[in-house]
Amino acid sequence: MQSDNIAGSSDHFEDGFLEENSERIYLTQAGNAVSQGDETADQRIIHIPVVPGETVQLPFSSDNLYARLADDSSNLAIRSGDVTVILLGYADAMRTSPIVVMASDGAEVDVPFVLAATDPTIDIVTAGGLAAGDLGTGADNTGSIFTPYDPAQGIGGFQSVGGLDPTELNYVLVERRNLFLEPEDEATALIGAGQDSVPVNLNDSRSGNENVTRNANIMVVLDVSGSMNEDADSGTAGIQTRIAIARAALTNLLHTYDTLGEVRVTVVAFGTGAVVHFAWGSVADAIDSLGTLVPKDLTNYAAALGIADDAWMAGGKLTGDTDNIVYFLSDGKPTAGGGFGNHLTAAQKTDWNIFLEDPFNAIDHVYAVGIGDRIGTEADPDSDLVNVARPDANDLPPGDVLYIVDPMDLAERLVDTVEGVTLSGNVLTGVDTSGVGDSGQPGQPDTAGTGATYIYTFTHEGSALSFDVAFGRDSSTDAPVQIGGDGQNVSISGMDVSFDTEHGRMTFHFDTGAYTFTPGEVSADTDVAFHYGTRDENGNTDMPGGVDADGPAGGGDLVISIADSDPAPASARTQESAEIFVAGFPFPTDQDVALLTTPELV
């Protein structure tokens, strides 16, 4: 088809929006180049899928707009300054129901007008006849986007363009194909190929009941042999020893129990020998004691179990209705003590079993935890750990062996052992996408930007300043660090951050977007809000106030709704009754306009 435009039109894109590999943008007027400029690294390209009949809000004003239609992908690109918005599937959606495009200054964008004025590949047919170009060669007028329309309908006008009487320039959008220059023209770059795309973070929510108060006595039996000083994860920047990972994971575990009720802790440390490192006391004091442990020497399971009996029997435990739990953690097979091969002898296993099954001790559960890849797997169980968890194999009390092949998973796996209500999900995969406060649909995942995209920030703003906390990192391989706020009982273990809120404890995984929240007890239905953001390899982040419309910080929100289960569980929040809290202020959810719909990579 002929690539004419309306006579006297304003500047337009001759060859579309050229991509990074071209790095040039060409503007023409009446077929002559009038200006050109480099496409800088600051150029922002936003992809937005559109839905028939919806209203789309652009992030720029209606002044100086340029537009271009793709030939085979149904996409419309609108540009202002250094920001290009690509409406994915625009033409197909328009065939079903009109799309209203609004600029940030409140003006409705006359898309056909902007196209006619700025896209050199479009033919315009009006009620008065051909405005420019030809009708196209297809039987259905393929190649033309406008068709004759009764001027009495009054649905549009091009009076500012000039060249024809305004009454002759009424139009209706019906079809458009083959609107780009020929593919063999190597100067042409198709919309949708290789754009520098930005991440999109959608709001999430999850709900569940509160936990009732549960008190606990916890005995930690911890390996402090020399191997616990080794780097736990060579893939993460810096040295993170196994003992450091274990301290952080145990810190998080104990704080999680503390969320549920009153807790007492005792710690047995073992290497070549074993000692009661910390007698029964508070969670805070027990955690402080873990910081004084220095790994050295060999690994003696027999010594550890022999002194654990004495540690448990010492005074200072909670009495009454309590959970009594034993955690045994080691990164290797025994290398000292015991019998043949340093394994537990039959007599030692019998003594340990008697201790566990003694009704006076009232042990509820035993967890034997192997840390690293040198101490068995689910497929290849370690007999020594099995003998710690189930010395006579009768599962009384219940005993489980946990194989933590990747030490960085230790914190998550330990928290999973806490009985009660835990709310788990993922902010990236779509399992929790709420559609509250943005245009996300249930099940819709977040969209990555260009190249490797990673979580770079996670924050919580509490009702009290002391609970405010912010974490961040500078690359996908960096471990997160606390960058703001006081935070309460903060623990960082590898890629995992854990902290208390006013109404429960959160563990968030920077590498995957997964989280586990343990609710506390609440007196009324309560929301706890968090905020996260992703960044791509070009430094792009979710646009502030952009596609997902969740506030000046960009990123997405996660809202945990805790139901007061007494007298009755509250129903799950609905979109109509919910609020998203961003920077301490509620975001209205009854919007009449769907702000820029969720983008995807093309």
* Average of per-residue pLDDT across 424-435: 94
* Average of per-residue pLDDT across 482-499: 92
pLDDT of residue 480 exceeding 90: yes
pLDDT the model gives residue 336: 96
pLDDT the model gives residue 515: 96
Query: Tell me, what amino acid is at 266?
Result: T
Q: Please tell me the least confidently modeled range out of 214-218, 469-473, 575-579.
A: 575-579
Contact predicate 131/6, CB 8 Å = yes
pLDDT the model gives residue 224: 97
For residue range 160-201, what is the model confidence (pLDDT) as tens digits?
333 333 333 333 333 333 222 233 333 333 333 344 578 999
pLDDT the model gives residue 237: 55
Which residues face 522 on adjacent strands?
Answer: none
pLDDT the model gives residue 192: 36
* Average of per-residue pLDDT across 237-257: 89
The SS3 of residue 226 is: helix
pLDDT the model gives residue 258: 95
Contact predicate 175/140, CB 8 Å = yes
Q: Please tell me the least confidently modeled range out of 17-26, 76-85, 99-108.
A: 17-26
* Average of per-residue pLDDT across 83-110: 85
Q: Please tell me the least confidently modeled range out of 5-19, 259-273, 298-312, 343-357.
A: 5-19
pLDDT the model gives residue 239: 64
- Residue count of the chain: 602
The whole-angstrom separation of Cα 431 and Cα 440 is: 11
- E strands present in 83-213: 83-88, 100-102, 124-126, 129-132, 146-147, 172-173, 204-209
pLDDT the model gives residue 72: 53
Domain spanning 215-415: CATH 3.40.50.720: no
* Per-range mean pLDDT, top range of 131-140, 213-222, 570-579: 213-222
pLDDT the model gives residue 104: 86
* Average of per-residue pLDDT across 469-498: 92
Percentage of residues in the chain having pLDDT higher than 90: 49
* Average of per-residue pLDDT across 216-227: 98
Average confidence score pLDDT of the chain: 76
Q: Which of 77, 101, 105 is nearest to 89 (CA)?
A: 77
Return the higher-pLDDT residue of 223 and 545. Answer: 223
Is the four-CA dihedral 90, 95, 101, 107 of positive or negative sign? positive
Return the higher-pLDDT residue of 596 and 64. Answer: 64
Q: What residue has token string 């340093």?
A: 342
Return the higher-pLDDT residue of 187 and 117. Answer: 117
Contact predicate 124/77, CB 8 Å = no
The SS3 of residue 423 is: strand
pLDDT band at 15 (very low <50, low <70, confident <90, very high): very low
pLDDT band at 121 (very low <50, low <70, confident <90, very high): low
DSSP code per residue over 539-572? S-BPPTTSTT---TT-SEEEEEEEE--SSSPPPP
Return the higher-pLDDT residue of 109 and 138. Answer: 109
pLDDT of residue 212 exceeding 50: yes
pLDDT the model gives residue 64: 82
Query: Tell me, what amino acid is at 343?
Result: H
Return the higher-pLDDT residue of 419 and 235. Answer: 419
* Average of per-residue pLDDT across 511-524: 94
pLDDT the model gives residue 95: 77
pLDDT the model gives residue 122: 54
DSSP 189: -
Q: Please tell me the least confidently modeled range out of 29-43, 50-64, 469-483.
A: 29-43
Which residues face 206 on adjacent strands?
Answer: 560
Return the higher-pLDDT residue of 234 and 23. Answer: 234
pLDDT of residue 98 exceeding 80: yes
The whole-angstrom separation of Cα 225 and Cα 220 is: 15
pLDDT of residue 25 exceeding 70: no
The whole-angstrom separation of Cα 211 and Cα 420 is: 6
pLDDT the model gives residue 544: 60
pLDDT the model gives residue 50: 84
* Average of per-residue pLDDT across 514-536: 94
Tokens read off for 408: 């960085």
pLDDT the model gives residue 471: 97
pLDDT band at 433 (very low <50, low <70, confident <90, very high): very high
For residue range 279-292, what is the model confidence (pLDDT) as tens digits?
999 999 999 999 99
Percentage of residues in the chain having pLDDT higher than 70: 70
Q: At what angle do helices 346-357 and 301-313 cross, to 10 degrees?
A: 30
The whole-angstrom separation of Cα 537 and Cα 375 is: 37
pLDDT the model gives residue 451: 86
pLDDT of residue 487 exceeding 60: yes
pLDDT the model gives residue 542: 86
Q: Cis (ω within 30 of 0) for the bond into 599?
A: no
pLDDT the model gives residue 20: 30
pLDDT band at 60 (very low <50, low <70, confident <90, very high): confident
Element (H, E) at 414: helix 410-415
Contact predicate 318/257, CB 8 Å = no
Where do the structural domains in the chain lie, given as residue ranges?
A: 12-173, 215-415, 423-587
Q: Which of 573, 542, 252 is nearest to 410 (CA)?
A: 252
